[in-house]
Structure formats: structure tokens, C-alpha cells
Amino acid sequence: MRFQSLWNWYFHLPVIFRLILTIFFFMIIFGVIISFLEPENFPTIFEGIWWAFITGSTVGYGDYVPVTVAGKLAGIGMILAGGGLLTYYMATVSSQAVQREQKLSEGVVPFKNQDHIIIIGWNERARQIIEMIWNYRPREKVVLVDSSLKRINYRKEHIHFIKGNPTLDQTLNDANISSARCVIITSDPSRKEFQSDQLSILTTVAVRGLNQEVPIITEILMKDQIENAKRAGATSVIRSNDFMGTLFFHEIYRTKPIKPFDLILEQLSSQQYYEHELPENFEGSTFLECSSEYVKKDELLLGVIREDNIWINPPFHMKLQAGDRLIVLASLGK
């Protein structure tokens, strides 16, 4: 009965583990046999097992060699049994490695790690976000969820891809939504604005339903849908149309257009906005005095958050109070 249980346990193991156990079994058996057949050439069982592994793997150092007929027959049996298994093991490992890489590229392998960033939707914005994360946070774990992509070169993109509908529990669970640190939901550029926003809101609802604590950053195209996104559970709502419209407006009425404008955007991409609690020693100080201290640290003080109000570039004589939060622009990684 015990043997039957052991046999069932063995056959329930993955193929790779069964191969390893079988190889070790044959190598040990033939190592013991050769040490008994030729004790002069193989003084210990360990030397016999060493010879079996080296010969079966076709390495063949030649430090231990059977010289008797019985020893050579044992060697033939070992090569036919253990050597074939070793070759099959190497082929199996290589095949499984290739298959796993294919599955990773096709987005069918669930993500098992924790404290990762999930980006939902593959578009130019998502690509830029991933590129910036790779440049400034190379150790960050990123999971991309998308239903339109057929496959992705995960080695090139440095991300874990999950293919599927992001509004479904199964897809989000494959992305390990319960252990995510942040979720970014981008708009679908292939849909009309209203449809794209409805999908983003529905995705926000699905994410919030599976993780009540994770911060959700949702991109919305229409101003009327911002409140709906917040009701759905979005922690932050970014309306990309507002940003682009503002850029166009300033370019139209700029006295002298900046020709290398793309270089300015590239420089901004290396900066990060931070919120800092007002240090106690700055309470009662003016915005100018506080700004001067941040300049010494190569940081730019942009504004102040006080209760529900935000002041960007406030008057320099504005007095700072306890409880204020400072909006600071600094290089990524500081």
C-alpha cells in the first residue's frame, strides 16, 4: 500500500521533476554497481556515482574507467539507461524554456510577484510610461493588460504581458491585482471618446471591486465623465485632452514659438512632481524664503496645497502655515 502511494505521488509530479528523480535513481544504482564490480578502480560509492554522471552526460573526463568485462557491461547498461535519460532531460528543459518564453510573449502566464504596477491598455501613452519607468526605475515590476495585442516581445519591452479583457475578474486576477501597488488605466484610442471613457470607467469599477486599497489612475477624455470615474473608484483622474489643449493654446499665442518643443517635453519627462509636508522650521516663512531653500537642493517649489485649495506660483509674500503641503518639481529618483 505504501509503495502504491509512493508510485502515485511520483506520477503526479511534473515531468521535469520525474526526470530528475529517475536520473538520480539510475546514476546511484549504476554507481553502486560499478563500485562493487571494480573496487580497485572505484574505491568508494561516491567515485562510482561521479563516474556514472560524467559518463552518462557524455562529458567523459576519463579519471575513472572500468577495465573488467563486467564493469564495461555495466557501463554499457548505464549509458543506454541513464545516458538516454540525461539527453532527454536536457531536451525537455530546453523545450519547456522555449514554450514558456512563447507563452510569456502571448500573455497567457499569470503574474505571481507582488508590489507591481499594472498598466491597462496598450497605446502610445502606455509605451511612453513603460519606457520612462525602465529608464528611471529599472527595477520596477510592470504588468501590461490588453486584449488587442496578439503577442509582445517581453524581453524588449521589459514587462509581463497579460492578454485579456481588463473588465473580467479572471484577467485581473492573472495580473495579480490583489497585490498590485498601483493601477494605470489608459484610454482606448481606437474608440470614440464617449465609448473609450465608458470602458475606462467600467475597468475602474472592476479593479476597485477586486482591490479596495490600490491607487487607480484613470485617463478620461471627456470632462463630463470625470465625476463618474471618481465614483467608480479612481484615486486620480487625468484628462489628457485638457493637457493637449493647453499646449496648443500656448503655442498659438506664444510671441516666438519654441522650435525644439519636443526637447522641452523630453526634459519634463525626466522630472517628477512631489508633495512635501511643510517642515516646522518653515512655518510663518514666505513662499519666496521657502522656495530659496528648495533651490539649494536643485528642486523647484511650484505651489502650495492648503485644505482643498491649490495655489500654483502664489505671491512670493504668501505666508506658509502649519498643515500646508508643498508641490515640488525635482529630478526623478530624488
**Phi, then psi, of 286 in degrees rounded to 5:** -85, 165
Closest CA to 266 of 140, 173, 132: 132
Closest CA to 219 of 243, 233, 240: 240
Within 38-168, where are the H helices? 45-56, 69-78, 84-106, 124-136, 154-157
Helix (H, G, I), strand (E, B) or coil at 152: coil
At 135 the pLDDT is 79
Q: Which CATH architecture has domain 270-334?
A: 2-Layer Sandwich (3.30)
- Lookup: cell for 242: 485638457
- Which sequence spans correspond to the domains of the chain? 2-106, 117-244, 270-334
Q: Which CATH class is domain 2-106?
A: mainly alpha
C-alpha pair distances (Å), 194 with each of 123, 200, 239, 242, 246? 18, 10, 13, 16, 21
At 94 the pLDDT is 63
This prediction has a pTM of: 0.62
Q: What gap in Å lies between CA 225 and CA 195, rounded to an integer?
A: 11
Closest CA to 298 of 270, 261, 325, 263: 270
Closest CA to 233 of 199, 195, 206, 197: 206
Closest CA to 299 of 324, 274, 263, 277: 274
CATH superfamily of 117-244: NAD(P)-binding Rossmann-like Domain (3.40.50.720)
At 294 the pLDDT is 82
User: pLDDT by residue for the chain (334 residues), tens digit each?
Assistant: 455 566 566 555 666 677 777 778 878 888 899 888 988 888 889 988 888 888 777 776 777 888 888 888 888 887 777 666 666 666 666 666 667 777 778 888 899 989 999 999 998 888 888 888 887 788 889 999 999 888 877 566 578 999 999 999 999 999 999 999 999 999 988 889 899 999 999 999 999 999 999 999 999 988 889 899 999 999 988 887 666 666 566 555 566 655 555 555 555 555 677 777 888 888 888 988 888 888 888 888 888 888 877 788 888 888 988 888 888 877 765 5
DSSP 196-233: HHHHHHHHHHHHHHH-SSS-EEEEESSGGGHHHHHHHT
Q: What gap in Å lies between CA 250 and CA 257, rounded to an integer?
A: 9
